[in-house]
Amino acid sequence: MEQYKKEFINFMVESKVLKFGSFTLKSGRQSPFFMNAGAYITGSQLKKLGEFYAKAIHDNFEEPDVFFGPAYKGIPLAVAASIAYYELYGKEIKYCCDRKEVKDHGADKGSILGYNIKDGDKVIIIEDVTTSGKSIEEVYPKIRAQETTKGGIKIIGEIVSLNRLEKAGDSEKSALDVITQTYGFPAIAIVTMKDVIEELYTNGDKTVITEEIKRELDKYYEQWGAAQ
């Protein structure tokens, strides 16, 4: 595992973004872990977070032109990643996000806030985590609506912080695999739960993922684990 991935896993725990215990998800599933990117609340945390996203994007995708952060949690992620990408690689990446309500007046009216995506742009969608893959159903048509010719905007991928590696809805596949299969672009994560377990349990001191939590994780994945 790359060093930045190990650092990111510990960063999520230290920032109280990744927690272990018992949590009820929006889907109704009872999960032994939970990730909440809304817990990144300081400038130093957002700076580091942007760097982790930038490194993962640089390692896995061709160079993009635009970071699209779905409202609301995706907005600071796209901004932080854009700043970090410039600092690390010297490339200006524009950012934008969707509006929950279309603005019908002013110079910046429309459904997009920030940079106006146009034909020829290579776009990466940045989110925190996805369990069902539902969010992309709202985001994808908003991006496509900015095109003047079909396929004029190239969505080169989506990236999230953590791949939960669990079944998405009624599918046997993970949400990221479903997105890739449905939309035709790679959907990846900085780290997966397999990476998290390796770092915090297999190679860790078992103070974060204890033996008891590991048993709960094993039970959870027996029931909800996605086909690999």
Active site residues: 103, 105
According to DSSP, the β-strands at 110-114 and 122-126 are: unpaired
Surface-to-core class of residue 204, CB atoms within 10 Å of its CB (0-12 exposed, 13-18 middle, 19+ buried) = middle
What is the C-alpha to C-alpha distance for residues 8 and 13, in angstroms, rounded to an integer? 9
Q: What are the residues whose beta carbons fall under 8 Å from the beta carbon of 183, sequence distance 6 or more?
A: 136, 140, 155
Other beta carbons within 10 angstroms of residue 15's beta carbon come to 18
Q: Residues 29-42, buried b or exposed e (16+ Cβ, 10 A)?
A: eebbbbbbbeebee
Query: How many whole angstroms from its chain centre is CA 152?
Result: 24
Angle at the Cα of 89 from the Cα atoms of 88 and 92, rounded to 5 degrees = 110
Q: In which element (H, E) is residue 79 found? A: helix 74-89
* Beta partners for residue 33, in sequence order: 20
